[in-house]
Amino acid sequence: MGEILQLLFDRIETPIGEMLIVADCDGYLRAVDWTDHETRMRRLLRLHYGEDGFRLEPGHNPSRLTDAVRNYFAGDLSAIDRLPVETAGTPFQREVWRALREIACGTTLSYAKLAERIGRPTAVRAVGLANGSNPIGVVVPCHRVIGTNGSLIGYGGGIERKRWLLEHERKHSNN
């Protein structure tokens, strides 16, 4: 049996609900989700690290990640740009998640354009599924992906949160 991954979590209030921030002891962000979706987050952690592969404990502001996320919500959008993230997931999922971080703040991209960007133009549905299983929402900005027709679709935190995040970024962005 492998080593058990120790994870620390913190909770912060945001303008759109309470958020959970999960980091490992090396300071890598492992998961972010809304507290009303905590069950989903824990399920994803079990899926990625195994039923008994991690231990989740309270930890105040692990590696100052909570401060960075709080600053993002206060209007300093660049506060989360270079936060260190570490995820499990398949190589394809991680490729999609890396590409999400390249979408400029204050802008959006369609699922089809994201599939093209990673060199897999026919994998639109697979890109959508990978986007939907992103464990580090907001920091790995899956909310910036929209339908080809410009519609706001497919955000696990809810469309109202997606709308708020996009408006927040447009308001505070230099793009």
Annotated catalytic sites, by residue?
Answer: 142
Write a three-state SS string for 43-111. Answer: HHHHHHHCCCCEEEEECCCHHHHHHHHHHHHCCCHHHHCCCCECCCCCHHHHHHHHHHCCCCCCCCEEH
CB under 8 Å to 102, separation ≥6 — which residues? 117
Q: How far apart are CA 162 and CA 85, in angstroms?
A: 21
- DSSP secondary-structure letter at 136? B
